[in-house]
Structure 1
C-alpha cells in the first residue's frame, strides 16, 4: 500500500530533502519528516508555505503533481492593494503569462484567514493596503500564483497552499505532518 504524508511546509523551507544548489544553510524537508523513501508530489517555493504531499509511490506522485489530471490546488493569498472585481474576473478567465495563458481559476476575496503566524511575519506598511483572496488552480507552473496576482496589479505578500484535491492542511502547525489515505481518482 502506498504511503501518503500531508505536511504543513513552513516558510523558508525547500521542498526537497537535501540543500542542493540553494546553499548550505537552507532548511529542507529532512528537518521535519524523518521517514525513508518518501518524496514530494509537486513543490512549493521556499517563500511559500502550507500543504505539501509526500508519497513513496511514483505513480501516485505523478497523478497528484501532473497538471494533466487537473487536481485542484487551493491557495490563501495575501496580496498588496485592495483587489477589485475586475481583477478577480481576470484571474477567473485565465492570465496571459510569458509561458502562455493560464487555465481559468476560481478566485474570490476572503476575510483574513485564521492561519498560523509566519516567521518572519509579512512586513506591514501603513500606507499600502492589503487583502486576502482564495485562488484555486488546476495546473502548477513555476511561481504561477505569484505571477498571476502580479499580472493583475496585486503582488503576493503571503502564499499558503490550503488544499490539494480533498486533502487539506487544516489542523497542522508549520512543520507538522500526518498520514492520509488515498482518495478516489488518485489511485494508480
Structure 2
C-alpha cells in the first residue's frame, strides 16, 4: 500500500463521547441522594461542582459497575461503524485514575462496540501521547494538548469554551469528519 492511500486516523474518547456519563451521573445521583436533576441544570458547571453532594462524581466513578453499565451515546455505534469505513478509528480512554475502570471499560466496549478490534483500543493515563490525525473528546485537557485537528464533543463542563470545533452529537461529528476523508 502506498502512503497516499493510507487512512487518516481518529482518536475517539469513551466517557462523555461514546458513553453517556452525564445520564449515568444523573441517574445514580437520584438513586443515591433522592434528588432528580437534569442535564440542563449541569450546564456550565465543572465535574467538581455539578452536584450539591461534593465528591459524588468521583465516588460513582470508583463504584463497581459504574463504567460497565454506562448508556451508549445516541448515534455512537452507527457513527463509529460509518467512520471506520473511511478512517482508522481508535478508542482512546484515560482508564488509570479509577481502579475498576480499566476492566469495566473493556467489557463495555466489547459489549457495545464488538466490531472494534483490540488493536484499536488504547487505555492510558495521559492522552498527550496520542498522535492521530483527529481527536474527538469532551475534555479540554485532552484537546488543548493534541497536535492534530480537534472536535470537542458537547458536555456540560465545556459549554463555555469555544476554541475547538464543537459537535453537539454524533451526527455532527460524522458530518465534520466526512468533509476531511
Question: Higher helix proportion, which one?
Answer: 2
TM-score, normalised via structure 1 length: 0.28
Question: Higher strand proportion, which one?
Answer: 1
